[in-house]
Amino acid sequence: MSLSGLLRTLPTINAINSSLGSLSLLSRQPYSMYKPFVKEPVYNIEQLDKLIESGEAKKREFVPVKAARNDHNVSVFYDDLTSKFVNMVMVKGQKELARNLVEMGYMKVKQIQLAKYYEATTDAERAEIELNPITIFHKALENCSPVLQLTPIKRGGSTYQVPIPITENRARFLAMKWMILECREKERKIHFPERLAVELIDAFNNTGKVVKRKQDLHKQCENNRAYAHYRWG
């Protein structure tokens, strides 16, 4: 059994610690200004209804709750991952520009996929084409997320790149970061939204430069598996 296969069976750090599961992505900030017992706010109306039904809401009545974030809302279209991605695209605090770029990217994704859809002749072909940009985005990120990462560890005067397990947060961060860096590459004649659309669709189909970068990292980890024990000295 390969090293990455073994490491994949171990539970991730986030999975052990997360209290509300997929509700909040930032459940355990190490340097948070909040005490550990302060709860994350729940924005999603359906989840609120579920809490009220199950009786959980009663227990949370007098528990302090963290302050609301500016970009979090109860909109039907709100997506956690998209919000995180927009924050990472943002430069110099220009949130509106970042959001518009990502939204344009989603629109271009739809345009590209719809062109394929309306060209397809049979129902079977049409059923295979994914049109929802959010679904494509989620799958693309999944395909780009690495399972291991390399860390430099000094042993006997030389620094070795040692493969170590990766947290969910870090994997997601790397996927988004690589995606954004790839979209900012080269001559800039093709603008960010167009590049983002093409890269997302490629990553959704498990092809493209970002997936290649992840696979290169995995290959490096495989090559360096002899040094894996350096992790524990």
Partner 1 sequence: MMRYLRTCNILRVWRRFSSISAESVPVTESITNDIFRTNESNPVNHRVEHNSRFYSISEPVKKQLFAGGGLPKEYQSLSETLNGLCIMVRKPAIELIHYLNKTNFDAPVLRYVLYGKTGVGKSLSLAHVVHYGSSAGFVLVHVPWVPKWFQYVKVATPSSVHANKYDQPIEAVEWLKHFSTQNGHLLHKLELKTSNTYTWSKREVTAEGSPLSELIDLGLNRAKYATGCIVALLDELKRAASSKQCRLLVVIDGFNSFFSPKSNVIREDKSMVLPSDFLLTDALLSLTRNDWNNGAVVVSVDPSAHPPELRESPLPRYLLGKTGFEHLDPFVPIEVQNYNDKEFRSQIDYYIERNWLQQPKARTDNGQAELSFTSGKHPYSLMRLVAPY
Instruction: Enumerate binding residues for partner 1 (CB under 8 A).
Output: 45, 75-77, 102-104, 106-107, 110-111, 114-115, 117-118, 131-134
Q: Which helix (H) or strand (E) holds 57?
A: helix 56-59
What does each C-alpha distance from 88 to 121, 153, 170, 224 come to in angstroms? 39, 28, 13, 30
Q: Which is nearer to partner 1, 135 or 151 (CB)?
A: 135
CB of 117 to partner 1, least distance (A): 7
CB of 77 to partner 1, least distance (A): 5
Count the Cβ atoms, other than its own, within 10 Å of residue 106.
19
CB of 75 to partner 1, least distance (A): 6
CB of 103 to partner 1, least distance (A): 4
Q: Which is nearer to partner 1, 6 or 114 (CB)?
A: 114
Q: Which is nearer to partner 1, 15 or 74 (CB)?
A: 74
Phi first, then psi, for residue 186 (nearest 5°) are 65, -150
CB of 78 to partner 1, least distance (A): 10
For 185-193, which contacts have Cβ atoms below 8 Å and span 24 or more sequence positions? 192/89, 192/101, 192/105, 193/101, 193/102, 193/104, 193/105, 193/107, 193/108
Q: Which helix (H) or strand (E) holds 206?
A: none
Q: Which is nearer to partner 1, 117 or 160 (CB)?
A: 117
For 76-79, which contacts have Cβ atoms below 8 Å and span 24 or more sequence positions? 78/43, 78/44, 79/134
Q: Which two tokens stand for residue 197?
A: 């659309």
Q: Which is nearer to partner 1, 62 or 118 (CB)?
A: 118
